[in-house]
Structure formats: C-alpha cells, structure tokens
Structure 1
C-alpha cells in the first residue's frame, strides 16, 4: 500500500519501483564479481614486475573480492579458504589462497576512501555527523550484572546529500568530540570532490557550532548550514561569519525559516546513511584490536560506497 503521508505532511510516492528494485538486485552481483579472472596472469605480471623477493601468487582484485566476502558474508578467514577451494572446482581459473595469505594481504589493502566523482552534483551539499559502533556482542544484562563496559568506537562522516556517497571518514574512540574531527573530514571531502564539484554548503547540528568551524568554512568559501544556539550572540565573538549567520537567522524570523532557506532538512541524509550502513554490515565489529576495528569500519564504508556506485 502506497503511503501518501509522512509525519503528517503530504508525501506523494514518485519512485519508479521497478527501477529501484532492479538496482537493489544488482547489488548481489558484487558477491560473484569475478571479471578479474580473465586478466589473472596479466595482473600478476604487472604486480611482480621489478619486485624483490617472493613473487605475488594472487592479484590485487582477487584479494579485494575476498575482502568483500569477508565483510558482506561475515566469513572467517579459514572458511574463506574452504569457500574458494570449493568454488574453484566449478571455476577452473580460480585459485584458492590459504587463510594466512588472505589475512596478510587483506591487512595490507589500501583503505583510502573510494568516491565516484561523476555521481556528484556541480555544487555539492554535504551533511556531517557521527554515530556509535559497538565493540562487543554482550547484552545489557551482562553489562549491568557484571559492570563490564568496553565502550564503543565513533564513526565521523561527511556525506553528499545528492548521491549518498561518504566523502569523508574518521574513526575514533568515544572520547573524541564531533567538532574536533570537522577539519580533517572537510579536507577529505574537498579533496574527493575535486575542482569540478566544489563543496557549496555544509549541514550540521549544534555539535559543530564552534567559532573555529565557521572560520574554516569562511576561509574556504563554503556556506554554513550549521545550527546555532538560540541565544547565540549577534556580534563577533571570535568569528564574524558565525555572527553573520546568527543575524541572518534572526532576520528570517527564527529557526524554521532559516532551516527552510538552507535546506537543513537534508541533514537527515547522513542519518539515513548510518542506518543503511548498520543494516547491511551490522551495528558492531568483529575485530578485537583497536587497529583491526578501525580497519574493519574503513572497509565497510568503502564497500558501502561501491554499492551505491553499482546501483546509481
């Protein structure tokens, strides 16, 4: 049944469900994306050219595909070896790698954020926020009964509200405040967008209402869509641009009109990305070391961007 209302407001459903369903079905093709088999020998020759020591036996795309299996199917490394060994019986070109090799090669993968610029708008609008990822599967009873607390890790992200791609990512522990990660996130986002897709506007909640952030946005020529406090000063107290934004909000008649002018409602897109990420990959991590947890989150975010690119 089609919903015609959303939160009490008219919301006509204009989505073409046949196209949308096909896009979601196409995501499953990534599980068996074995195009690299046709270039197996050529890829190995390129990787081993001029290499000192033992030559590579498995090309990089194969390791990337195995990382996909590890992340999507939550498959341990020993089971991954058996999975490929059995699959190789049906695909003669495929060669199974032992679990130690898989672990070492996946650990060495380049985890820099992968973004597809052609899906970005001419003027990019970015939303910024953070979310918590649990580090243990222990429930509330265990935590309350035995007073065991392992905390959580924090995922800070900037996303493009148009394509839903994650443009900036920082993973920290729970003690790091959101505003402290704004500058490195913005640097990543600007770099990933490139000159052809400049960042036009940044949307953020009150956690980013800091003079330093407004000054950084002004320096880069980026408009602010950051929510300021209701009692914020209208004169400069370290950031003339922040004071200007506060005066602009007051001239418009308050928060509601300011939010409408700056498309602040689009900030929920970052919450939607976090929700999708957790539904697909789970709300926790399986790694036990701090470095392993951070790498696991980075791999999940990269594959999330690849899923978006695959169905765009």
Structure 2
C-alpha cells in the first residue's frame, strides 16, 4: 500500500524543556496543597454566618481537597478517613472527618468547571471534540459470549488551544451526537471568556458540519474552523456563512491551505487533553449509576483543569 504524503506541517516544539519539566514537577504539589488550613476558621465563620441548624465543622475548601484525593488516588471513603486522621497527627490545624461526613459533603460539592481567566489570551481559539469513557471493565469475550453491552459515556469539551484549559464541559450517554452539544459548550465557553477574553475562532471536525452551528457562529461573530465536506455546496442551503466558508476553502486550493489559514491543526489540543486526562484517571469509571458516573467524570475534569492551571496551562 503506497504511503500517503503528509500535507500538514509538523508541529514545531519550541518549548523550553527545563521550564516544562519544572512545571510537571510542580503538579505534584496539587496533592498536598494545604493552604486552606491557614484560613480554616475564616472559611467556617463565613459558611456558618446566618446558618440555622447544625453548623458546619469543616470548610468547603477542605472538602474540595479531600474530593481531589478521592478522585486522583481513587481512595475509598473509609480509607480517606484513616488517611486524613493520620495526616492530622502530623499537621497542626488539620482536623479529621469521618467517612460519612466526607461522602455527604463531597456529593453536595459545586461541580461547576473551574477556569482561571488570567491565563486566557485576548482572542481565544477553542477546539471542540468528544471522547468515550468506558462504564465497565468487561472484555470483548464477555460481551460476545453473554451478549453483555452497557455502552459508554461521552465526554464533550471545548479546549482553549493556548492554555489547554477546558472552557466548556458536557457529559452524555453514547446516543447523543457531538453536534447537539456544540451550542451548550459554546455558551459555557463564552461565559468563561467574557468581554475581556472573547472567543475568536472555533475548531472542530466534520461531525460539527451543520448549518445551525455555522449560523450560530455567524450570529455571535465567531470565525469558523469547522471542517466541511469535500462536496459541500458553495451556495446557501440554509446557511450563507457555511457556503462562504466553503467558497473560501475552494479559493485557497483545498484543505491543506485552508487548514493553515484557520490553524485547523491546533485542534489536536483537544486530543491531547483527552490523552492526558485518561493517562491520569484511566479510561473508565468506578461509579455504577449513571448519575454517579456523570459526577465522577465531572470531578475528574475539574481536578485536571486545576492541575493545568497550577502548572501554567502546560499540557501533560
């Protein structure tokens, strides 16, 4: 089979590896970032101000830290109680919580996507994509022999190609198509970007080649980096902006030049996000209910975003 010539430009790796190595080492500080201990009493007083009923005994920052330990180390709740009890014996100011308290408080945590706006550029270029998360470790033989099929979960994200932060996050089952989550992802991304960091361009593959998505981009004055079909119409068939993008692609001589103009190659940052995410957290989930699976994945993405922010947005 003849080898197909690569028309895309190779990615120039210009990063300073000494700085990059230091940033990767710094990520290890995430596991034992105990800054919340210094503001333990302050956080508790704020949480209990005007509260009726039993007051909180543990600040939200401590619960969020324990949720990170649970997520990264996949530590069961009873073991977490023993872990923090032993850790409290060495660290003044740290108070141990029982496993039932940890479980209930972690289940009530705010799981909105954490984003550091200070790391974002003036004009944001984002990449949209999705990946599958396994819901069982059953192998191919089990599925074939016993006709067991539980499907998978889809993780939809929009990634800032400069900082690698996830700016939009949606979790669905396998029946939901990628393009159906595009507008909700874009809404979240624009909320995180605000007027100071507007979204300039969206990069996406052919799964997002839909008229309504091009119309949405045109209405919001966002440039398209969506890959259109080879035989796409050059006249309006429901989206004048899509037809304009197709004419531009043809005028530039096809996909190779089009990809350079719109920096379509940077869409690989979404693939890099998924690769780093799965290397750290694995390709499956431990929860058994769908709601628990969705919460588990959201907690993992939140922790990964915080880790990227701690390391200055460098990819793993």
Please name the residue that 1:273 is paired with.
Answer: 273
Please name the residue that 2:216 is paired with.
Answer: 216
TM-score (normalised: structure 1): 0.95
Which 10-residue stretch deviates more, 35-44 or 302-311?
35-44
Task: Report the Cα offset of residue 92 of structure 1.
Answer: 3.3
Deviations 1:134-190 (A, max 9, x none): 011222222222111110000010000011000000000000000000110000001
Distance in 1, Cα, partners of 2:179 & 2:11 = 34
The answer to whether 1:34 aligns with 2:34 is yes
Do the aligned residues in 1 keep the contact of 2:122 with 2:197 (CA within 8 Å)?
A: yes
The answer to whether 1:194 aligns with 2:194 is yes
Distance in 1, Cα, partners of 2:107 & 2:99 = 12
Please name the residue that 1:57 is paired with.
Answer: 57
Deviations 1:55-105 (A, max 9, x none): 101111100000010001010111000101111111232111111110110
Deviations 1:253-312 (A, max 9, x none): 111111111111111110110111111111111111111111111111111111111011
Please name the residue that 2:286 is paired with.
Answer: 286
> Paired residues, what number?
307
SS of 2:106's equivalent in the other structure is helix
Greater relative contact order (Cα 8 A, min sep 6): structure 1 or 2?
2
Which 10-residue stretch deviates more, 162-171 or 85-94?
85-94
Distance in 1, Cα, partners of 2:250 & 2:8 = 27
Which 10-residue stretch deviates more, 18-27 or 65-74?
18-27
Distance in 2, Cα, partners of 1:78 & 1:60 = 19
Task: Report the Cα offset of residue 15 of structure 1.
Answer: 2.6
Distance in 1, Cα, partners of 2:235 & 2:130 = 30
SS of 1:171's equivalent in the other structure is strand
Please name the residue that 2:110 is paired with.
Answer: 110
Distance in 2, Cα, partners of 1:22 & 1:226 = 35
Deviations 1:113-137 (A, max 9, x none): 1111111111100100100000112
Do the aligned residues in 1 keep the contact of 2:8 with 2:256 (CA within 8 Å)?
A: no
Please name the residue that 1:18 is paired with.
Answer: 18
Which 10-residue stretch deviates more, 219-228 or 86-95?
86-95
TM-score (normalised: structure 2): 0.94
Which 10-residue stretch deviates more, 135-144 or 301-310?
135-144
Distance in 2, Cα, partners of 1:93 & 1:10 = 52
Do the aligned residues in 1 keep the contact of 2:158 with 2:270 (CA within 8 Å)?
A: yes
Task: Report the Cα offset of residue 14 of structure 1.
Answer: 3.1
Please name the residue that 2:3 is paired with.
Answer: none
Cα RMSD over matched residues?
1.5
- Cα separation, partners in 2 of 1:186 and 1:268, compared to 1, 3 Å: same
Matched ranges for 1:236-251 at <5 A: 236-251=236-251
Please name the residue that 2:79 is paired with.
Answer: 79
Do the aligned residues in 1 keep the contact of 2:130 with 2:156 (CA within 8 Å)?
A: yes
Distance in 2, Cα, partners of 1:8 & 1:193 = 30
Please name the residue that 1:234 is paired with.
Answer: 234
Distance in 2, Cα, partners of 1:17 & 1:251 = 40
Query: What 5-or-longer segments of structure 2 have no aligned partner?
Result: 1-5
